[in-house]
Every structure is written in structure tokens, then in C-alpha cells.
Structure 1
Amino acid sequence: MNLSSLHRRHVLGLLLAAPAAARAQLRSAEELENNPRWLQQREALFARRPIVEDEALLSLQAPARAEDAAVVPIAVRAGFAQGQGARVRRLVLVIDNNPSPLAAMVELGPASGRADLETRVRIDEYGFVRAIAELDDGRLVMSKRFVKASGGCSAPPGKDAEAARATLGRMRLAVQEDAPPGQPLRAQLMVSHPNDSGLVMDQATRLYTKAQYVRNIELAYAGQRLLAAQVDFSLSENPHLRFWLRAEPRGGELLARVDDTEGRHFEQRLQLVA
């Protein structure tokens, strides 16, 4: 067999193999999209209710490859202000391949100005991060991003244990001061807490640190509920939450209440003036 015949047979083999390779890639994408962990979470949270993906209604921003798997910034953005033809009553954050995939479930109250949230999370394996919004008419809308990151849930803390204990529970509330009149105000909550996952090994003792993390966050403004969140250790050390509140002409008190898995309770108040 001459070289020309070998070349033709090689090209023919490539052509025949191409559809098989494409099918394999398609199967791989479907397996990632419909992996068992996500399907289990989906069934537990939403049963068989339909979920649509519509970036005009809901978008999720996350890096394609994280610089630090223990501190991955994400942002969930709704395509409308609360009450403008639709309202988001609940936001759910799922990280498919984390040991505890349900990272946050956030109920939004009447004081919420926009269904937009920003935070930082841990990601343990390559996989999808998903944000699912439940609208007040019962529709479910999802946005997802595939993030390349690993080891975030077992990464050592940024602070040593003594320093973390010294500042544990300290909170800071801050609110945007230059918002246009009548527009929602951007605000943020920062909590000093190790948010230990229980998956980090102490290199000196070779024992795993005890799991202790922020479990509940409640925010209220001017006597009305802003949000109530159930969260997990998938949130990074020193949990951070950026949110929006509905401006009140007479101002009011912004109140943050935080509970952790050890039964500790923390509060912070900030008085806003008109």
C-alpha cells in the first residue's frame, strides 16, 4: 500500500470518527448539565416544576476560572426592579459539586428594592453554579455558569484561629449615599466569622477543624422585612452580602440579625436619614 492510499484511509477514518466525537462531547455536556447532584437538588427544591433559562429575566455573573476557589465572587441580577410587572419572592443558589450544594435560599420581603445579590462562595470541584429565581406568579427562572475551581471547601482559613475568635461576630452595614431620588439603595453586610466547613485539616494536630458557620441572615428596613436567608459553609470566610433596599422618604433603621450553627446571635443597626 503506497503513502497516498494510507493518507486517504487516514482522512476517511477521521471523517467517520468525527460524528462519534461530536456525540461524545454532547453526552459529556449533557452529563454536566444533568448531573445527579443537581437533579437531586432540583427534585428536592422544586419537584417537577418547569424551570426556564432567560438571561433577560435573570443573569448570574461568575468567573470562568476562579483565582481563589475559597473566595469566588458571584453576582445575581434580575432584569427588572421589584414590583415592575413582576416580583422575585425567592432566590436559590446551588453549587452542583460542593459537599453541601444548597449554598443559599433567600426570601425577599417588601423592603427589597431589587432582586440582585452579590456574595463570595467556595467551590470544591469544577461544575455549575446556578441561581434560580421563583417569581410571585410561580414561574421558575434559572441562570448558570460553569466555573473551573477546586478545593475551596477544604482550603485553610485566611486568619489564624486566635485572630478569628477575637473578631468573631463583628458586623458592618454600609449603604450607598449617592443614589438618585426614588431609586433603590445599594447596601452591604459584612460578618466577621470563620465559616468553618469542617473539612479543613489542622496541619499541626492532623485533626479536622470543627464545622461552625453562619446559618441564618435576616435584614429589615424601616420595620419591614428586607430578606431572610438560610446559608451554608459554601459562603466564604467572613460572609459578605450586597443587596438593594427600597428607599423610604423619611429614612429608617436598617437592622441585621445573624445566627450561626453554634447558637450565637449577632445584631447590627444602622440609622438611615432621608
Structure 2
Amino acid sequence: MSISQSRSLIAALSIAIALPVSGFAGGSSSFLPDYMKPANPLLASETWDDFLREETIGAAEVLDGDDLMALDAPIQAFDAGTVPFTVRQRSDTGARITNLKVVVDENPMPLAAEFEFGPAMGDVTLEARVRYDVFSNIRAIATVADGRTFMVGRFVQAAGGCSAAVSRDPVAAFATMGQMRLKEFNTSGLQMSEMPGNEHEVQLMIRHPNFTGLQVRTGSLEHIEARYVNFVEVKLGDEMLFTMTGGFSISENPTFRFNYIDNGSQEMTVRAVDTEGEEFTESFALRSGT
């Protein structure tokens, strides 16, 4: 092998090693070799082809979303009632995601959540948890500001989460329903800056049993009536970060971990509404810059 050939090989290996971690999770077909693609790719689905596609996005043309975003979801979930997923928009795509639908094909309520994003979300990074009724695809379907629609997906082995026993007695669950917490993360290792334009990461936690209507009371065959959070609005000062319209496929005690762009406000407000029309609100003082 010549010296020039050796240098070319070393350069190629360096590029492969330097690929971002999100590449493993997202599996962009444009640059990943077969051995680096995800082990649980989206599978063919009669449910999606027969009716769910039309119900979810109508006649919209769906583009391969691998170069826009990555979707992380486990191959096999430990708990079918709390299956985590993460959507990470790839940097420097030149697109702004305005809408995101999360679909679990084989769930009784396939559209788990629909998010509307404001500009302050920047490149969207969002983590949440869903229930799984049977083995199924999970899809992230994004619409960008110019109207194009992109989709990525994974197949997850998990079952029984929509009818699984509730983790708390319903009376106790109702007693704490609507309580919220906000956790801020400092991933830089440096003092958090309050300067507008900087990116921050937080996790919003909402206490709510999100009863599906398919669960029974412990020690009986009596069904618990469906009651779940179906709307969440998160604002940074007066600016909307995102809204979520959801169903019972979102797990008990909904949690959303996300990034946002600092607009200078020192307060984040959250409003959540459930299917009984009960409204829960909370304001959080942000400690960025302290």
C-alpha cells in the first residue's frame, strides 16, 4: 500500500470514528454504513397503510426524515407503560420544525401526542414517555415551516402498557393530581448564563394518573374511567415554547424533557388541562445565571 493510500484510509477511519452519537440513534441512510444503522428500524405496517396514514397526515407527501432528525426508542422496553423516546433535530438543517406528531401504530389511541413549537424551541430536542399496547412502530412525523413533512420511526418490542395495573391507588393519585416540578440541567459544566440566545435544557414533570379506561382497580374487575391530560401549554415569559395535544398513550405522570433558546425571561409558565376539563397551572422561576 502506498503512502497516499495509507493516508486516505486513515482519514476515512477518522471520519467514521468522529460521526456524532446522534447518527447511531437516528440512522441517517445518507451516510451511515449498514453496521452502524439502528437495530430496530421502522417495519412495514398494514395498519399504517390501510387507514392510519390518511387519518394522521392525509394526502401529504412524506419525505425521509433521517437527515432532519433522529428518533431514539429502545429495541425492547423494560416497562411497556413508560417507553421512552427522544426526538433530536440535527443541527444546521436550515429548517424549523413547527409541528410534530408522535404515533404508536398499534395502540388503541395511535396518535400519542401532537406538538406545536414556537421559534424559541430552536432545533427541537424533546424526550417523553408513551404506553405500548402491543409490539409496534413508533413514528415521529415533523412538519417544517415551509410545509414539508418528514418521518422517522422505530419498532419497539413492548406490550400490555395500556391496560397495565395502575402504580398508585386512584384516590391517592387524584389527591396529588396536577402537581408540577421543573428541573433545570447544566450540561456545559460552567455557570449557566442568562444571556438571551443561549440554549437551556429542562424537564417538566406533571403528576396525573392518565387513566386509559382499560385498567381495572386492584383486586377487582371494576374498570377505572378514562381520565388523562389532553392539553399542555408551556411559555417562556410571554412567548410560547410549545403546546401538546395528547391522548392516553402518553404515560402516567407525563414528563417532557426539552431544550429551548433563552429569550431573557426569568419565568416559565405551564398550563395543563385534562379530559374532565380540570385545569392546572404553575409558574417556575428560572435560575439561569445564578
Task: Give the unaligned 5+ runs of structure 1.
Answer: 1-30
Tell me whether 1:190 sits opposite 2:201 in the alignment: no
Task: Give the unaligned 5+ runs of structure 2.
Answer: 1-41
- Counterpart of 2:219 in structure 1 is 204
Q: TM-score, normalised by structure 2?
A: 0.78
- Counterpart of 2:278 in structure 1 is 264
Cα distance in structure 1, aligned partners of 2:54 and 2:165: 33
- Counterpart of 2:116 in structure 1 is 107
- Counterpart of 2:103 in structure 1 is 94
**1:111 touches 1:220 (CA, 8 Å); kept in 2?**
no
Tell me whether 1:216 sits opposite 2:231 in the alignment: yes
In the alignment, residue 105 of structure 1 is paired with which amino acid? E
Q: Report the alpha carbon displacement of residue 173 of structure 1 after superposing the two structures with TM.
A: 1.4
Spell out, residue by residue over 1:91-118, the C-alpha distance to the aligned partner (whole angstroms, 9 max, x if none): 1000000000000000001221331110
- Counterpart of 1:5 in structure 2 is none
Q: Report the alpha carbon displacement of residue 193 of structure 1 after superposing the two structures with TM.
A: 0.6
Spell out, residue by residue over 1:201-238, the C-alpha distance to the aligned partner (whole angstroms, 9 max, x if none): 22433121110000100001021010011011111110
Tell me whether 1:56 sits opposite 2:67 in the alignment: yes
In the alignment, residue 206 of structure 2 is paired with which amino acid? V
Tell me whether 1:238 sits opposite 2:249 in the alignment: no
In the alignment, residue 96 of structure 1 is paired with which amino acid? D
Where in structure 2 are the equivalents of 1:130-169 lying within 5 Å?
130-169=139-178
Cα distance in structure 2, aligned partners of 1:263 and 1:218: 15
Cα distance in structure 1, aligned partners of 2:112 and 2:204: 17
Tell me whether 1:253 sits opposite 2:264 in the alignment: no
SS of equivalent to 1:105: strand
Cα distance in structure 1, aligned partners of 2:46 and 2:89: 26
Cα distance in structure 2, aligned partners of 1:150 and 1:136: 36
Cα distance in structure 1, aligned partners of 2:174 and 2:236: 29
**Number of residue pairs matched by the alignment:** 241
What percentage of aligned pairs have identical amino acids? 39
In the alignment, residue 258 of structure 1 is paired with which amino acid? A
Structure with greater Cα Rg: 1
- Counterpart of 2:241 in structure 1 is 226
- Counterpart of 1:16 in structure 2 is none
Q: TM-score, normalised by structure 1?
A: 0.82
**1:223 touches 1:253 (CA, 8 Å); kept in 2?**
no
Change (3 A) 1:257 1:35: same
Spell out, residue by residue over 1:168-221, the C-alpha distance to the aligned partner (whole angstroms, 9 max, x if none): 110011222455754311111101110000001224331211100001000010
Cα distance in structure 2, aligned partners of 1:254 and 1:68: 31
SS of equivalent to 2:123: strand
- Counterpart of 1:117 in structure 2 is 126
**1:173 touches 1:268 (CA, 8 Å); kept in 2?**
no
Cα distance in structure 1, aligned partners of 2:100 and 2:57: 12
- Counterpart of 2:23 in structure 1 is none
Query: After the TM superposition, which parts of structure 1 deviate over 6 Å for at least 4 consecutive aligned residues?
Result: none
Cα distance in structure 1, aligned partners of 2:126 and 2:46: 26
Spell out, residue by residue over 1:6-37, the C-alpha distance to the aligned partner (whole angstroms, 9 max, x if none): xxxxxxxxxxxxxxxxxxxxxxxxx9523224
Cα distance in structure 2, aligned partners of 1:144 and 1:130: 4
